[in-house]
Amino acid sequence: MDIQTIQQEKNDSLKSLAEVTMKVSDAKAALSALKNEETEYLVEREEKTHALVTSVMSDSQEILKKTQENYGEVKSIVSLAKETCDIVVQAYDDIHSLTTLFDKKTEDWQKSVLEKEKEFAVIKKNLDTESVVIENEKKNIEKTKKALQNDRKLLNDRKDMLERTITRLKVTL
């Protein structure tokens, strides 16, 4: 691998890490907004339930006054009140189930994000290690290159010396 490829991979990894970080930030903001909506919903639902219960209580008092006049009507109204309470309890149970499910999904998502962060940390560490190895290889290549240049110069010097010696020998012979 050449340095540009490694640098490109490093940049791609950093870009991916930034994207994941942005997505985590977006998810945290969405979670915060959802919690605010949930709180508003629960308050609104509580107010509606309170109003409904108050209404039912008011109706029940009127009905109790009428029970002396009509026992049959009282029985049907009590049944209606029971169904209304069951609906309210069921609505509460449903909301509780939804919040539990939401918490579970959020927890799973957070675990997934933490795993990805660990993976990115390992990749970053590997890239850092590779960078050090590449840098050391560069230094070794430079040393080898200098040694070869010195050997070449030495060979050229010896060649020149041999040529001069041969020339002197020719002249003397």
Q: Distance (Å, rounded) from C-alpha 165 to C-alpha 78?
A: 129
The confidence score (pLDDT) of residue 152 equals 92
In the chain, domain spans: 3-172
**Mean pLDDT lowest among 1-15, 57-71, 108-122:** 57-71
Picking from 98, 102, 104, 100, the residue whose alpha carbon sits closest to that of residue 31 is 102
Average pLDDT over residues 86-103: 88
160 Cα distance to chain centroid: 69
pLDDT category at 67 given cuts 50, 70, 90 is low
Average pLDDT rounded to a whole number, residues 2-22: 85
pLDDT at 74: 54
Write the CB contacts of 99 (distance below 8 Å, at least 6 apart in sequence): 38
The pLDDT tens digits for 133-167 are: 889 899 999 999 999 999 999 999 999 999 888 88
Phi, psi values for residue 70, rounded to 5°: -145, 100
pLDDT of residue 68: 66
pLDDT score of 147: 92
